[in-house]
Chains A and B, each alone.
Chain A
Amino acid sequence: MIFEDMNPKKVQAIKKFLGDKKALIADDKKTTRTTLKKILTEFGVKVQHIFIADNNSDASEIINDLKIDIVFAGYNVGSEKGIDLLNTHMNVFPNRQRAIFSLISGPNSIASSCLILDTEADDYIAEPFTTKSIADSFLKIVERKITSSPFLNAYHKTKELIFLNELDTARKIIEPLKLGQNHLDEIYYLEARVFQEEGNTEEALKLFEMALEVNDSHYLSLKSLVEEYSNLKMWKNAYTHTIKLLNNYPINPENLPELIRLSIANQQYEDLIKYAEFFSGLEVQSPCLKTNIAASLVICSNYFMKNKERDKGVKTLLEAVKHSSGKFSILEKIISIFIEYKEVKLAYDILNQFEPLHGENPSYRNLEIQIDYCNKDIKSVLKKGIPLAESGAANIEVYEVVILSSIQAQRKTNSIIHLIDKAAAKFPERSKYFQSMYKE
């Protein structure tokens, strides 16, 4: 089936390539392991050369001990990330020309696959998959791997040497390649990488730009330039190169919040309105991507609130709640923004909505007390806040409102001073401020 209608010579080359290869399937789903094993044997990998692991620790041991050539890693392998196995595999095969690393992943948007574009992984198999989609995808990689040319050999050798930090030797390989007229984008990119590894950012930037002059959509050069310009806080350059990148490729959704930071750094505030609409419109299943979108929406809404665009800010924050998957760190930020901008009822409604999930979390209690203070409910602030302050679980805002409420309630001087001492001990950097809050 796999080799149907294929040139027999090519079939022979593929079978020869895979005939002596060892493969590891690191995935905790038995059905996935069974399917992959079947496909690999159909491709000509010997069944006794296929190994299985359901956790990263066993997988790493197998990769190292048996010098595994082909790795299929699940997005999650047990409680760990399958992509973490790539480094182990890179150490065994720093030259990637004949080695294969495929990630099997839950998120299936095209953009999600960008996770592997920035790494030496070869493939991204999105779930749910079909036997045909895995076989087709694997065939493409094998065809790529069996393709050999003096340039490709030099390309992979140079990348290997850069990985091993043998930069002088890498440079010796690059020099003669520069005399030719072909693949100049890749050659400039590789040379830039050598300079980058040596810490010569200026030369690296020049060469990455030269690579773009040859090929204006050279992914790795664009990506490197965005990173380097951002590191140098050259925000305008980082922004324009990100536009060039996005004109040709999506970005890993995990990096969406970076776009917002870049727009803010460039004062491109109209972007934020569009981001908020864009992110709100995305219906995604992956909890990880959902929380990234929620985090992005929080940044946008904070900007709206700061600029007195209350309605937009509120709407965006409510969208962020929807995308938060109930993650407390995100909810905490949303509620804090509502409290900061005196939208106490909204803050309370959201807090209340997640009480069954996070009610026992001390940070939840902190938010509850801050809302009570905004509602001028001094009695509740003291009732809930004093035990939290005494236990040391109160945050800086709660210490502040408990001290202020204690003063307003005319509690005993000793009790107030005791609270101030507690707050100053926990937050020494704000000690002076706490001491200044109360004069006997």
Chain B
Amino acid sequence: MTKETKLKAVLSDALEENQYKELNHDIVLRNDTSGVSYFEYKFIKINELRDDSICISLPKNVCQKGHNLSLVIYDTRPVKKITKFPPPDTKGSITIIGKVIELYPNGDDRVLVEIKFTQFKPNEWLKVVESYTGQQNNISSLIEEVKK
């Protein structure tokens, strides 16, 4: 943690925004097997990032096991409501094509899916993965300072 040489005079000055910011990527997808797109990125949550796959939770019936999906992953929340599937290389996003290789129920209305990438730019994906690894490193460093 950043140590200040001089104490802040008031409490509000001692709050550091970066420490309270959550790291997030938003995803929209097109189911290339069914031809249906899903733009409600607020309902798609990333659970796990792997070298060449991703586990996400999303509403059921968006995709099934074996379906091919195109994913657009945004590093900042889209400003405008998305109404059509974004073209590749849209600013602030990466596009990945993959296949649903696992699908498990996750509560009554949602499913957990693992999507194995078939077409992606490893360098772009690595940057996303590393941002989360970095966040975990920051968390671990804080914990290390306190725990014996």
Contacts and interface: CB of A to CB of B under 8 A. Distances in A.
A35 interface: yes
Interface in A250-285: 250, 253, 259, 262-263, 268, 270-272, 274-275, 278, 281-285
Contact of A113 (B9, B17, B139): B139
Contacts of B50: 130-131
B137 to A, nearest CB: 7
Interface in B15-35: 15-24
A271 B10 contact: yes
B3 A247 contact: yes
A217 B2 CA distance: 11
A110 B16 CA distance: 11
Contacts of A217: 3
A128 B139 contact: no
Contacts of A109: 19-23
Interface string A127-140: 11111111011001
A133 B133 contact: yes
A129 B146 contact: no
Most buried by B among A108, A136, A152, A263: A108
A242 B13 CA distance: 12
A107 B22 contact: yes
A136 B130 CA distance: 13
Interface residues of A, number: 67
Contact of B136 (A30, A129, A152, A239): A129
A30 B112 contact: yes
Most buried by A among B10, B102, B145, B148: B148
A243 interface: yes
Contacts of A220: 146
B79 interface: no
Contact of A274 (B12, B49, B132, B139): B12
Interface size class of chain B, counting residues whose CB lies under 8 Å from the partner chain: 35 or more
Contacts of A249: 1, 142, 145-146
Contacts of B138: 110
B22 A116 contact: no
Interface stretch (A117-125, A394-402, A431-439): A117-125
Contact of B142 (A35, A110, A127, A152): A110
Given A113-B143, A275-B12, A32 B47 contact: yes
Contacts of B132: 108, 126, 128-130, 133
A28 interface: yes
A108 B133 contact: no
A233 interface: no
A144 interface: yes
Interface string B51-86: 000010100000000000000000001000000000
Given A262-B11, A286-B22, A186 B148 contact: yes
Most buried by A among B13, B49, B133, B147: B147
Given A30-B112, A130-B48, A283 B19 contact: no
Nearest to A159: B148
Contacts of A110: 18-20, 135, 138-139, 142
A111 interface: yes
Contacts of A242: 11, 14
A348 interface: no
B15 A246 contact: yes
A29 B47 contact: yes
A108 B22 contact: yes
Given A108-B23, A110-B142, 19 more contacts: A30-B112, A31-B102, A107-B22, A110-B139, A128-B47, A128-B48, A128-B49, A130-B50, A133-B132, A133-B137, A144-B144, A156-B148, A219-B146, A244-B7, A249-B145, A250-B142, A259-B15, A263-B10, A271-B10
